[in-house]
């Protein structure tokens, strides 16, 4: 798998655009996020996305569900504050990625890394239609978190317009849902995000 730096896409219902976005090779990771109770469908979708991500060399991460991540052969799991102890999950997923949502709190990130998290996410960095009530994380938090030594993911209200601010602040990954999958052409939008990281490297 490629390093965790770049566009970190998160699914939002319709999976039709996901394959097209993956084919651009602009993604560093894809997170499968589905809060429904349809376990059979979730299992089918997770297995299908895991295969697609392997084909395109993209890390496949399951939101919240360690059992589903294991069953689908995912590359890792992403945990929120109520999704289980990181150290216990780390023990169940040796050699795989464990990410943690840390909201607007550096101390949560410090605890997560100490418990074995491979990356941490801060947000919402901007107002988000997906989670309108989410706490806002200041961009200055990324500079303060650099010393943690793990990739830093920014999430919440990110668009092509404001993404350069987030990268300048020190984020390694841009977690995007709406601005990617609600775009008229998600593949073209993914490529545009990919160019942000190419431009930064030049």
What is the rounded distance in angstroms from the CA atom of residue 55 to the CA atom of residue 39?
24
Classified as helix, coil or strand, 56 is helix
Longest dimension (CA), the chain: 45
The structure tokens listed for 38 are 């349809």
Peptide bond into 124 cis (omega under 30): yes
Half-sphere exposure at residue 94, Cβ-oriented, CA atoms within 13 angstroms:
1
Catalytic residue among 33, 90, 92, 105: 33
**Using an 8 Å Cβ cutoff, are 75 and 1 in contact?**
yes
Q: Distance between alpha carbon 177 and the CA centroid of its chain, in Å?
A: 9
Catalytic residue among 25, 90, 105, 131: 131
Residue 9 CA: distances (Å) to CA of 14, 30, 90, 163:
13, 5, 23, 14
The structure tokens listed for 46 are 């997770």
114: nearest Cα among 84, 90, 78, 137: 90
CA dihedral 2, 19, 176, 13 (to 10 degrees): -140
101 catalytic residue (yes or no): yes
Catalytic residue among 5, 59, 101, 128: 101
The structure tokens listed for 95 are 């050699």
List, by residue number, the catalytic residues: 33, 101, 131
């Amino acid at each position: 798998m490629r390093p965790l730096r770049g566009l970190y896409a998160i699914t939002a219902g319709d999976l039709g655009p996901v394959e097209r976005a993956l084919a651009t090779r602009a993604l560093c990771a894809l997170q499968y996020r589905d809060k429904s109770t349809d376990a059979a469908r979730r299992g089918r979708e997770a297995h299908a996305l895991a295969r697609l991500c392997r084909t395109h060399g993209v890390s496949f991460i399951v939101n919240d569900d360690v059992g589903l991540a294991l069953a689908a052969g995912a590359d890792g799991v992403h945990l929120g504050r109520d999704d289980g102890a990181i150290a216990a999950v780390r023990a169940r997923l040796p050699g795989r990625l464990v990410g943690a949502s840390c909201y607007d709190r550096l101390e949560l990130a410090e605890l997560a890394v100490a418990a074995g998290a491979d990356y941490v996410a801060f947000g919402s960095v901007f107002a988000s239609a997906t989670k309108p009530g989410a706490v806002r994380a200041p961009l200055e938090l990324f500079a303060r978190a650099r010393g943690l030594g793990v990739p830093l993911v920014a999430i919440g209200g990110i668009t092509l317009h404001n993404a350069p601010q987030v990268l300048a602040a020190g984020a390694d990954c841009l977690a995007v849902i709406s601005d990617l999958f609600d775009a008229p052409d998600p593949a073209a939008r993914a490529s545009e995000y990919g160019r942000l990281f190419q431009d930064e490297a030049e």
